[in-house]
Copies of this chain bind each other. A is one copy, B any other.
Amino acid sequence: MITVALAKGALLKDSVARFAKAGLDFSSILDPKNRLLMVPSSCGRARALLVRNGDVPVYVAYGQAQLGIVGFDVLNEKQMPVANLMDLGFGGCRMSVAVKETSGYKSAVELPHHCRVASKFTGCARRFFDDIDLPVELVHLTGSVELGPLTGIAEAIVDLVATGQTLRENGLVEIEELFYSTARLIGHPLSLRLDDGLIQNVIETLQSQKYSSSET
């Protein structure tokens, strides 16, 4: 029995589609009426845990799920001991520094020393500003980070940007990209070592799709 951890939200539909091609059908999870958080595959050989984005690497790190699909943004933020097995290519977005359009800043190094930067991803932000050797005060917010510069709680934000619409609606502009994030297949290291072929088989099927699939 394989358990896979799937993230609620934007990555779910593509995640289910990928596993379906690898022979594990969790499509009942997409039914709007589904209230189950533990969903068996139609073949009975596997089950999916439907959890929040940030919890996918936790369930995989503790071995409660042998495989999981989660955005690179979360992996980078959480730094959990999981095997990063494959870039699945979908769910692309940028982790970016953004400021008020009227601020005049054109790049992150122009930000004033000891200014405040709001983010849900304070781990990623800390490593980025350490790398460019700019001392900033990070303000951890859990949502609506675009409010930061508008209220004055922060001069800049570090946040995920997909289409850029939220930034534009709030008069903000990207000035630097930390990294590009896509969905990743992750695995529990010990389960991979003890695997009798079942997990490897799923991974290889997902790997072969990667080069044959046209979806992104």
Residues of A within 8 A of B (CB): 3, 8, 37-38, 49-55, 58-59, 62, 64-65, 139-144, 147, 150-153
Give chain B residues whose Cβ lies under 8 Å from the Cβ of A53.
Answer: 142
Q: A62-B139, A139-B62 are in contact. Are A151 and B38 (CB under 8 A)?
A: yes
Chain B: minimal CB distance from A169 (Å): 9
Q: A37-B147, A49-B147, A147-B51 are in contact. Are A58 and B152 (CB under 8 A)?
A: no
Q: A58-B139, A62-B139 are in contact. Are A37 and B144 (CB under 8 A)?
A: yes
Residue of A54, A144, A151 contacting most chain B CB atoms (<10 Å): A151
Give chain B residues whose Cβ lies under 8 Å from the Cβ of A55.
Answer: 141-144
Q: Is the CB of A49 within 8 A of B142?
A: no
Q: Is the CB of B144 within 8 A of A58?
A: no
Chain B: minimal CB distance from A213 (Å): 30
CB-based nearest B residue for A35: B169
State in angstroms the CA–CA spacing of A141 and B51 once bound together. 9
Q: Is the CB of B144 within 8 A of A64?
A: no
State in angstroms the CA–CA spacing of A139 and B58 once bound together. 8
| Beyond A52-B143, A58-B139, 7 extra complex contacts between A and B, CB < 8 Å | A38-B151, A49-B151, A51-B147, A52-B142, A53-B142, A59-B151, A62-B139
State in angstroms the CA–CA spacing of A137 and B200 once bound together. 31
Partner of A58 from the list B8, B38, B49, B141 (CB cut-off 8 Å) is B141
Chain B: minimal CB distance from A134 (Å): 20
Q: Is the CB of B142 within 8 A of A54?
A: yes
A-B complex: 3 closest residue pairs judged by Cβ atoms: A52-B143, A54-B142, A64-B151
Give chain B residues whose Cβ lies under 8 Å from the Cβ of A153.
Answer: 58-59, 62, 64
Chain B: minimal CB distance from A93 (Å): 19
